[in-house]
Structure 1
Amino acid sequence: MTNKPYVKLEQITKSYGAHTVLRDVNLSVHSGGVLAIIGPSGSGKSTLLRCINYIEPPNKGIVTVGDVTIEGETPVSRRDLRALRSKLGMVFQSFNLFPHLTVLRNITLAQERVLGRTSAEAELIAMQLLTRVGLADKAAQYPSRCSGGQQQRIAIARALALDPKVMLFDEPTSALDPELGLEVLSVMRELATSGMTMIVVTHEMSFAENVSDHVAIMADGCILEYGPSREVIRNPQSARARQFLRAVNER
């Protein structure tokens, strides 16, 4: 890893009217690093992910991904927005697959339209990724014929097909039962091992402690604690962080 972070967030602030969701958030992730963001519901975790790829433009602050830097208070050109998003893949809580397209076509469509790949090139890459997530046999199926865990793995394959440098995960297992969630977490572990830079909003404490390099605990739109994963989870310093982790461990 170089000393310069690949993803850097500086003083990110996001408000909706009088309601402030994020307050001067600062975070950084180096290339190949895995950051887990944990914290109680409503703490701003998902909004922070959406600010990174400008689904929700921040009101203030600076987002840097690779060689692209965008300031929240200035108008963003289409060119800069495309450059930013070309480096980012995102997997949501809901799978957001096209129900009328086959699994294979769900993965090839954006490759052809965004990257300009031929159908043959896109299909080859899609099949390689479906094999990687253990679903090559589902290529001709429609999403409705797949389980929730399978659909989420297809969504991961679709995001990877656009060659992102960073993967953003917004609680990818929250809509799944524990057994299906393990299928998805297994794919995410493999991605982390392969060196993919990842930012993961999650309630999966085992993943946060054992797979991520660093953990950020959020509450009330702020970063309460940040540091090496096991150190933060095993020995939180603030009373609010201890309260959250105690509640999680008592479930």
Structure 2
Amino acid sequence: MTRTIAITGKGGTGKTAITALLIRHLASSNQEILAIDADPDTNLPETLGCEVERTIGDMKEFMMTERDNLPPDVNKESIFESKIYEILNEMPKYDLIVMGRPEGSGCYCYINNLLRGIMDKMVENYDMVIMDTEAGLEHFSRKIIRNVDDLIVVTDGSRRGLRTAERIRELVKELETNVGNIYVIANKVTDETRETIKQTAEDLGLTLIGLVPADEMIVDRDLKGMPLFDLPDESIAVTEVNKIAERLGL
């Protein structure tokens, strides 16, 4: 049974870094892992240290251009599916697929319907699916990935950030999405803010599953454009994300 974890949160909170460190933790297991970059900004490959040339957005463009030129008896889903597998990046410890964004205009409803069916079949080949999503919840309403077991909202340590997590929780309910558990991770936490974050999360009824400290190793690598996947074990962020993974049963 595939377990799907989606990481969301507003921009600048470090959700992609948290996603990369969760993948880093899982890579030491014997599980089959699919990482999905569903953020149109496409930062996860760089954070993992991967080079990606083509995205699902490119394949959607291809299908939009070519579908009317294909013979009517051709199975368009099979063609699209083969194109999707062409862009699957097979890394030693995990596979990576990047959603990207289509560049052309027009309605992609038909293509998105094909993609939903393909993704349903694709995720069944894996034990774990870890998805870095764009800010907001529009992607959930599109339901490209229909079932999410655990939704992790990454926030900064401010009260405003935690209220954003509260709003995301309420929006998930309003959208009637198929989400199991909702957790919150506070990122870039300092000793001065730790207790206040815990109390605010409790006041808002949020399930705070971890407080990741501000980590100078991550700041340094971000400035140099270096990946986070090979951060050393002594990184304080790595240590905390490993604990979070254990709390999630990963």
More strand by share: 1
Q: Which has the higher contact order (CA 8 A, sep 6+)?
A: 2
Q: TM-score, normalised by structure 1?
A: 0.37
